[in-house]
Amino acid sequence: MPERIQLRRSKGWRKPPGAVVVSRPSRWGNPFPVDGDEVPDRETSVALYRAWAATDPPELADVEVLRGRALACWCPLGGPCHAEVLLELANKA
């Protein structure tokens, strides 16, 4: 089952083979950065991303290329992350 991986800068850490980076600068990045005002926290950012993804934007037209792949982002594990939304979209039955 595909999973979400937290990117790290630790010496010796390597992204697992086949994992796809979906952090903000990538083409899969969340366009709703936490700014403290309109987007006060990560929960709000992910909720906005989920709502945006539900509109079937052209940026996510080929999300199926992520199917079966682990997705890597900088968000801490155990908290909300747009990569979870991408995992759901890419791997839905």
Instruction: Indicate whether this model's pTM tops 0.95.
Output: no
Torsion (CA) 3, 71, 40, 52 in degrees, nearest 10: -100
Q: Where are the alpha helices (DSSP H) in 1-93?
A: 42-53, 82-91
Tell me the sheet residues that pair with 71: 4, 20
Give 10-58 pLDDT, tens digit per residue: 999 999 999 999 999 999 999 999 998 999 999 999 999 999 999 999 9
In this predicted model, what pLDDT tens digit does every residue of 50-83 receive, in sequence order? 999 999 999 999 999 999 999 999 999 999 999 9
Q: What is the pLDDT of residue 56?
A: 92
- Mean confidence (pLDDT) of the chain: 95
Query: Which pLDDT belongs to residue 93?
Result: 55
Please answer whether residues 79 and 63 qualify as being in contact, where contact means their C-beta atoms are separated by less than 8 angstroms. Answer: no
